[in-house]
Amino acid sequence: MTTILTVVGARPQFIKAAAVSRAIRARDSMSEIMVHTGQHFDANMSDVFFDELEIAPPAHHLGIGGGGHGRMTGRMLEGIEGILEAGRPDWVLIYGDTNSTIAGALAAAKLHIPVAHVEAGLRSFNKRMPEEINRILTDHVSTLLFCPTQTAVDNLASEGITAGVHHVGDVMYDATLDAREKARETSDIVARLQLEPGKYVLSTVHRAENTDSRDALGAVLDHLKAKAAEVPVVLPLHPRTAGAVKKHGLDFDGLTVIDPVGYLDMAALLDGCAEVLTDSGGVQKEAYFHRKPCTTLRDETEWVETIEAGWNRLWKGADFVSPRKDIADYGDGKSAERILDLIASAG
């Protein structure tokens, strides 16, 4: 029996973990221990995802949310280390690029427990982003690196990382295919918000680069308000963004601001919208999976394939640069199975 300890802490990780956890449960040869760091501690950002995505409640909940990067990561590192010392799993499985990701990677690597990183090899080439530091360090201590695209494989090779690197496709696609069908059956959020399908824009804003500075956040909000003069703009409000708007003395005038939503409601909003405006890496891809044009509210993106395939653009001055086409790199919705096959074969 191969025991996998999974570390999650933020919304995109719950979604990715749901697809892989579902595949683990279907295998008699594997078991999973889930650790939730608490990085997203709001019930609408956390608990609802476990319920809707049918993820078993975490075996360990560290309750570590808020505070600066160093304090948060340090507390997570300490908490995860204790769990690993007590349980000694065969693998530690981590997702993405958050503080939870790097804490799980460092704790495992220092205890000589092999690390498997889902969504390895992504690079924005902007080291001012804390996520970029987390990605780079995590990849350099991982044993198995599961890349969603060939570009990610190439990024790792340019840093001298070739052992244990595998292009498996994107587990977010696995999750999206499942959620879209469930959302069509169960979610009424579009009707509740009195929106007309195909005639509203969906936006998310949460990145530190857009919220830490009054000028940066003001520019993003001005961009959204200009769009809202043409068509309703729905903004599920991230707690960080709510606090930043209050701190900087800004406002959401003209925008349809709603509380954070669960995954199925978010899938329904994506399914029904005409366009997406976001600074989230995960939502950029979800927009593509739903075949919605996306404007990324940043100066760069890790998901360069979405730009090359004509579905995405950067918000400052750039238009869609290519005719729209499908992105074969993201796979066929069976990435979770490939990940588990590779873990099993690695021993």
CA 69 to chain centre: 18
What gap in Å lies between CA 63 and CA 265, rounded to an integer?
Answer: 25
Which residue is associated with the tokens 């066929």? 332
**CB neighbours (10 Å) of residue 146?**
29
DSSP 95: E
Residue 177 burial (10 A CB sphere; 0-12, 13-18, 19+): middle
Among 56, 57, 48, 41, residue whose Cα is nearest residue 9 = 41
DSSP-derived 3-state class of residue 127: coil
Are the C-beta atoms of 132 and 126 separated by less than 8 Å? yes
290 is catalytic: no
Q: Which residue in 117, 206, 223, 290 is the catalytic one?
A: 206
Distance CA 84, CA 110 (A): 11
What is the distance, to the nearest Å, from the Cα of residue 306 to the centroid of all Cα atoms in its chain? 16
Angle of helix 11-25 relative to helix 335-346, nearest 10 degrees? 70
Tokens 């005719």 sit at which residue?
A: 323
| 72/61 Cα distance (integer angstroms) | 14
Phi and psi angles of residue 183, each rounded to the nearest 5 degrees, phi first: -65, -40
DSSP 61: E
Q: What is the DSSP letter of 284?
A: H
Residues noted as catalytic: 206
